[in-house]
A = this chain, B = another copy of it.
């Protein structure tokens, strides 16, 4: 595989870890990182250590879709690091302030093979709106997100023809779940001629990663029965802490509206209603409160009923399980985007490449 140059939009927990993990991967050059304050661009490869150190603990994972006037999260920007007069990613010496960071990225689109959308998902149409800007800007390449919400897929689907016309390969939901775990479910399904039941049950212990992953926690809270994506977005940090206290730091989720269901239905594995997603989040311990498990039950051509399972080791962090797969799928996406492959392939090469 040829080298891949990629951009990260958003330098929150996911964006930061994606940059970090990419340093362990072959053929991946992180060339662009931006948030709504500015843009760091270096096609010889960003100095990831400098960028992460300069912005550590003072992150901003927002990228306005419309040149700087986008919505501001309720928790404000109080924690965003300043570098002289500059905030967010611009605290890095590699970054420059920008009125329109997305346009900066689009302007370099010819040199960017893939764009990882490490953006929060406070509004359903946030990522679709970002995609629209890349469409309008004439980008062709891979776009990839790690979103979890079923209904966003439909919004991206509505743009399917435009993506095709533009030459964009858009991969949605490529993190731990739905990404890694639906991938495992699709593979586990191969033993069966009919899949009757997919259960995805995750455990996340987030003590040491809590500060970097507040956006993820907020989004998880939106999955509780008492909240939705809009009301969770409007919660103050103090209100989120109260919710966490009410649950003694351990929040259990059932029947989540996770994109796993629609993604498995799209892949022809099963009906979306046959997919159940739940899990347990512990923000006060790094130990996983439960082992992340995918169970796929189906019937075989010879009439047996069985369950194939995929389990993640408890020592793998959420960050490891999000960012490894995200970059794996990113590489696979670029390979698809470049298209037209002939020759000998092993099955494992048809999977997201390691």
Contacts and interface: CB of A to CB of B under 8 A. Distances in A.
Given A269-B348, A340-B339, A344-B160, A302 B324 contact: no
Contact of A354 (B173, B186, B317): B186
Interface stretch (A16-24, A100-108, A235-243): A16-24
A342 B164 contact: yes
Contacts of A324: 190-193, 300-301
A306 interface: yes
Contacts of A169: 341-343, 345
A178 interface: yes
A78 to B, nearest CB: 27
Interface of A: 17, 20-21, 24-26, 153, 156-157, 159-161, 163-164, 166-174, 178-180, 182-195, 259, 262-264, 266-269, 300-302, 304-317, 319-321, 323-325, 328-329, 332-333, 336-337, 339-354
A140 B167 CA distance: 26
Contact of A344 (B163, B304, B341): B163
Contact of A343 (B21, B163, B178): B163
Nearest to A154: B344
Contacts of A337: 341-342
A311 B309 contact: yes
A182 B24 CA distance: 22
18 contacts: A153-B344, A164-B342, A171-B346, A172-B344, A180-B187, A183-B187, A184-B184, A191-B324, A193-B324, A263-B349, A264-B346, A266-B349, A269-B348, A300-B317, A300-B320, A308-B311, A308-B313, A339-B340
Give the number of copies in the complex: 2
Contact of A190 (B156, B160, B192, B352): B352
Given A172-B346, A309-B311, 19 more contacts: A160-B343, A163-B344, A168-B343, A169-B343, A171-B344, A172-B344, A178-B346, A179-B347, A180-B190, A186-B348, A190-B321, A190-B324, A190-B352, A192-B320, A304-B317, A308-B310, A310-B311, A336-B341, A339-B339
A312 to B, nearest CB: 5
Contacts of A344: 153, 156-157, 159-160, 163, 170-172
Contacts of A20: 301
A275 to B, nearest CB: 11
A26 B320 contact: no
B310 A348 contact: no
Contacts of A25: 193
